Structure 1
């Protein structure tokens, strides 16, 4: 005898599930719309006042900031010699430019080294760079000056001594590693060479308060270290003579930002060792 197939009971209330979902979503939609339409008047007023204040501020800079190699030409008033103003406003003392005087004296005293490429002069209205090949001053891998270095640096000190411009001495090496007991890396070697030059300039009459020494090691090359000529060019000592007086350790009076401006201008000009 065949069994009777049980017929499933048809559910006529399935629409309630979809309807409940729809009502839930509709409720959530109205909640979101209500929350968006409610504005916090206090926060709105603060935001509005802030925006109005920002856009109504007076212009802070009148002249555009110089970019690239266009350097300011009105630097005579910031002369490193610090020409004093008399009571009637006229400048007292010498009107000569110290950087021009130093450059002319270096060219006259070391024309043979300049022609041979062992000494280079670079610069602009803000600074001059006196670049010396390390072979003129030190034996290979050492920071003890050679016999010829004493006479050379004594002549340079005689040129720089009459002026009050700061002199930053920078030491550079090639990328050949050095692992001596005195100089574990090229950092120590370059810094020691810069310090030696500073000490010799001070002994030659340059005010020690104007001097500073820094070593860059192998990380500021100006030539390809894969060639002999490139490595020779990278082994150098640079004397950076700034137009501005170094007032970093004096109380700030809101005046010119001389040292920072000089460094920024040097980076923008792209002359000398890159920084």
Structure 2
């Protein structure tokens, strides 16, 4: 009998899977989700580092469905409460046209363009005086020996110029209001410097704390007397007496350093007041 057969022919078809590997395409979806989550995480870390507390509150209020966005909660009508997260300078919001100057990290809020522009010009003038005093743009008005006694800061009250004792160089004779030559020199420089503006001037006297066992502890009288003596030195240097707004003695109640008994707390603060301050 021949090998050939007239029986049915059986054909087997083999199904070939796609080229996505043994896991299919699910890993791509998982990887994309992971990358998106990491990007969101790093964006959150950057926002926490690059924004202020006020800006973070504005962002949180914007994404909260139960808290309305308003000027009270977020500081402005925008998503970031009127602030730009890329800079500490508070720029005017779209449509308002008001330039909001700042004092350090604190924004200054105004209701009109005129008030904001006037305040910005005043802040700029105070900053210029500070730069002149410390020779940030050239030669200083004060000697290096006297400059060691002086620091300054711009606050919402005005330009605060702090004159303080050094370990081996004091501003006044011990336990008295008799000024040293360096105090007279600094006062003369400040008097000439203040003639370029018309702001009022406030003077505050501070002292280091003394032992509670001391029988004679005239810190209040002495701090006030030293502030009064600084007033006389400024007037002798050419400052108009009518520009003196107030003189106060704070005793040892406002130490400049954590150790209240440190000589660094013996100081005089001469404040060039902003125009809206009494």
Q: Please say if 1:112 is aligned against 2:148.
A: no
Other structure's SS at 1:188 match = helix
Aligned pair partner of 1:171 in 205, 219, 224: 205
- Alpha-carbon RMSD across the aligned residues, in angstroms, is 3.2
Higher fraction of helix: 1
Query: Any conservation in 2 of the 1:179–1:185 contact (CA below 8 Å)?
Result: no
Q: 1:1-275 residue pairs with structure 2 within 5 A?
A: 63-64=71-72, 69-72=105-108, 75-78=116-119, 97-108=124-135, 109-110=141-142, 112=144, 116=148, 118-124=149-155, 127-134=158-165, 135-176=169-210, 185-211=218-244, 212-225=246-259, 231-244=262-275, 258-259=276-277
Mapped to 2, the partners of 1:111 and 1:124 lie a distance apart of 25
Closer/same/farther in 2, CA of residues 152 and 126 from structure 1, 3 Å limit: closer
Closer/same/farther in 2, CA of residues 124 and 111 from structure 1, 3 Å limit: farther
Structure 1 unaligned regions, length at least 5: 1-61, 82-95, 245-257, 261-275
Query: Any conservation in 1 of the 2:160–2:271 contact (CA below 8 Å)?
Result: yes
Other structure's SS at 1:220 match = coil
Mapped to 2, the partners of 1:206 and 1:143 lie a distance apart of 20
Query: Any conservation in 2 of the 1:138–1:144 contact (CA below 8 Å)?
Result: yes
Give the TM-score taking structure 2 as reference length.
0.51
Other structure's SS at 2:230 match = helix
Q: Which has the higher contact order (CA 8 A, sep 6+)?
A: 1
Other structure's SS at 1:149 match = helix
Closer/same/farther in 2, CA of residues 219 and 243 from structure 1, 3 Å limit: same
Structure 2 unaligned regions, length at least 5: 1-69, 76-103, 111-115, 136-140
Query: Any conservation in 1 of the 2:142–2:186 contact (CA below 8 Å)?
Result: no
Mapped to 1, the partners of 2:156 and 2:196 lie a distance apart of 19
Closer/same/farther in 2, CA of residues 148 and 71 from structure 1, 3 Å limit: same
Closer/same/farther in 2, CA of residues 203 and 220 from structure 1, 3 Å limit: same
Give the TM-score taking structure 1 as reference length.
0.51
Query: Any conservation in 2 of the 1:107–1:114 contact (CA below 8 Å)?
Result: no
